[in-house]
Structure 1
Amino acid sequence: MVRNEQGFMYPLTLCFLLLFSTILLLSMEHFLTVKKMTKETENILMMDTYIIRTVQVLEEKLAAEEPSAAGGTFSISEVQVEYSIKEITDSVWDISIFIKKEQVSVFQAHAYYDRDLGKIFKWIEM
């Protein structure tokens, strides 16, 4: 019986090996894609948190004092925030915000501050 197989086991084993290898490679690719998406989502959520905190700090700074310069810098935990102020009208200012963090690209946003209301009424993330 063993001598009468006529080369049946080798092609069958080869097909199973190729099928297993293909499934393994597809699973690895899927895992790596999900891992990258998770990291990117984490960075986006972290930057959203930083932009909200930046808006709060800027509201406090602008409400407390009249800005003498056209911008400035400050730090929040491990990020560096740079901002510049441009006057659109007498009561509305356009604030350009740049958030820099190590190993993450520069995050940019624009905020609009109303001096009469004393708060930022709109911001746009780039």
Structure 2
Amino acid sequence: MLLSLGRFGFLNIWPSVTKILFKKQWNNFLMIRKELEDVFIPLIQERSKSKQERLSKVDQSDEFVLSYVDTLQDLQLPEEKRKLGEEEIVSLCYEILMAGVDTTSTALLWIMANIVKYPHVQ
């Protein structure tokens, strides 16, 4: 998804028009999005299941680590009076993961470029 992200930037311009003009690109984007959901949704459901099992136990002596997904599942949208859906949680998890990857890869590229530019630093 990260490698193909640049291919789909133009679809944001006029989504209602680009859905008609660039149907193949939209289908590719939606297919990639479906693959992303197929990976994340079982993980989110499993985390929710383990949290429910822990809450149902009387003996809670083991330590439970609160995760990012737990906070997203507990979050309620004040203006709409509803909790986030699985697709929204997938989007937020993807954004957090890719934000870390993008900045790290940019920093590494910059470091490598400067090592090549100044070989005495090696």
TM-score by length of 2: 0.33
- Higher strand share goes to which structure? 1
The structure with the larger Rg is: 1
- Higher helix share goes to which structure? 2
TM-score by length of 1: 0.32
* More RCO (CA 8 Å, sep 6+): 2
